[in-house]
Amino acid sequence: MHMRSRTLLAWSLWLVTFGCLAGGLAVTLAVTRPLTADVLLQGAGDAIPWLLFATIGLVLTLRRPTNPIGWLYAAAGLVWTLNVPWDPWVDQLLRTGRPLPLAARLAALAGDSLWAVGLALAVTLPLLLLPNGRLRSRRWRIVVVASVAGTAMNVVGWCLSPDPMTQTLRPVAKPFALDGWAGSAATVVHWVGWVMTFASIPAAAVCLVLRFRASRGIERQQLRWVAAGATAAVVGPLLLIPLEAFGLLPTVDAFSWPLLLSVPVAIAVAVLRYRLWDLDRLISRTVTYAVVTGLLVLPYLVIVLATTQLIEGSGSLAVAAATLAAAAAFSPLRRRVQDLVDRRFNRRRYDAARTVDAFAVRLREQVDLDALHAELLGVVDQTMQPTQASLWLRPAADPGPR
């Protein structure tokens, strides 16, 4: 495929995905009654992750068109949004108790079954192909076959089984449901496919772990970004769930955004090889500000609550005093925590900073130009580790005859 055709296809996938999301908004405005701000906010919260997912796929396909991971993400974003324009209509019909026409039942069935296709496109296959878009070896083809075949069996078996749809507001009969032994066979096919679909995911994860253990150099740094994204996908929701419980998140289920987007963003950085070597610094900054925030917020809350209880009517003064105390403590506390975290998570930067500081102290006392030349080159080699280094000193200007 020519580059122009690839670019056209990449933008087409993104535009169709965006069109589905825009169509969902238009249908919501047209049919949803009562139309409240909460309904629109919930719809936006559901649409933003899929749009970002499709955008990640677009960037990867444009920058690395030969790597199939970008195409997989773009296709997953499209598959997950195909039913979005129809969902508000189907939901409104169910709320009002009206019967569903065939088009509405087909749309509901798409939303009830296509999640498995998106799961294979966005999770299983990218894990097998990271980071260069090729399998680790031919033996891993069996996992690809199991994922694709399991997904097909899962979707087809579910569409034909007699069980009602489960992703709608209330159970709805399927348009292609089979009865008798044929329906029982379809149910068995669905469950076998379901097992194969979800068994392929840990197998793909094992492939990624084995690839990481054998990796070196740039490939290892790429896979470290993926590991960091997976960690954020687990830790992020755990930190955000309490905020949602107190109503502090902008939309319902916003805690799931890190779960959905952390790994794709990390994979995009890894595939594009963009700022790969900043990972240690990113981790150290994240840990630093998390620790500092915890150390400042908890005493702040204690001071506010205690002072408010002890001095009735002085709540505003207590809040102001606690805020000023936290602000005064932030800078020195941040520097100390940063130093501790760098020692643990970013040792290379910590050692380089100490080497430069020590050289700056010796520089004030050094008067021998040859010794300074050798020491400066030694510091550059120790901290920057260049392939070669040289120092050129401009000769002193001739003052001329007097």
Per-residue pLDDT of 36-65, as tens digits, reads 877 787 788 788 888 888 999 999 999 888
User: Distances from the Cα of 32 to the Cαs of 25, 38, 87, 91, 243, in angstroms?
Assistant: 10, 12, 11, 8, 29
Three-state SS at 74: helix
Residue 42 has what pLDDT? Answer: 78
Residue 365 has what pLDDT? Answer: 65
Mean pLDDT on 138-150: 94
Residue 141 has what pLDDT? Answer: 94
Residue 160 has what pLDDT? Answer: 94
Residue 340 has what pLDDT? Answer: 67
What DSSP designation does 99 have? P
Please report which residue ranges of 120-174 form alpha helices under DSSP H.
125-129, 141-160
Phi/psi region, residue 177 (left: phi>0; alpha: psi -120 to 50; beta: rest), is beta
Mean pLDDT on 85-94: 90
Mean pLDDT on 328-349: 61
Phi and psi (nearest 5°) for 85?
A: -60, -25
- 93-102, 125-134, 294-303 — which is least confidently predicted? 294-303
- In this predicted structure, the answer to whether residue 304 has a pLDDT above a threshold of 80 is no
- Closest CA relative to residue 16, chosen from 63, 79, 61: 79
- In this predicted structure, the answer to whether residue 318 has a pLDDT above a threshold of 90 is no
Residue 194 has what pLDDT? Answer: 95
Q: What is the Cα–Cα distance from 63 to 6, expressed in whole angstroms?
A: 11
Q: What is the Cα–Cα distance from 47 to 21, expressed in whole angstroms?
A: 6
- In this predicted structure, the answer to whether residue 307 has a pLDDT above a threshold of 60 is no
Beta bridge partners of 4: none
143 vs 280: which has the higher pLDDT: 143
201 vs 37: which has the higher pLDDT: 201
Q: pTM for this one? A: 0.72
* Kind and range of the H or E run holding 379: helix 369-384
User: Distances from the Cα of 252 to the Cαs of 23, 25, 167, 204, in angstroms?
Assistant: 21, 17, 17, 31
- In the numeric block, which tokens belong to residue 59? 């960037």
Give yes or no for a contact between 267 and 204, defined as CB atoms under 8 angstroms apart: no
Mean pLDDT on 237-245: 71
Q: What is the Cα–Cα distance from 54 to 48, expressed in whole angstroms?
A: 10
Share the mean pLDDT of the chain: 79
Please report which residue ranges of 273-346 form alpha helices under DSSP H.
279-310, 315-345
Half-sphere exposure of 199 (CA within 13 A, CB side): 13
Beta bridge partners of 172: 165
362 vs 93: which has the higher pLDDT: 93
- Closest CA relative to residue 154, chosen from 183, 188, 190, 187: 190
- In this predicted structure, the answer to whether residue 320 has a pLDDT above a threshold of 80 is no
Residue 335 has what pLDDT? Answer: 66
Residue 185 has what pLDDT? Answer: 95
Mean pLDDT on 100-104: 90
- 147-151, 256-260, 342-346 — which is least confidently predicted? 342-346
Please report, rounded to a whole number, the percentage of residues in the chain having pLDDT higher than 70.
Answer: 65
Give yes or no for a contact between 242 and 161, defined as CB atoms under 8 angstroms apart: no
Cβ-proximal residues to 332 (8 Å cutoff; 6+ apart), any chain: none
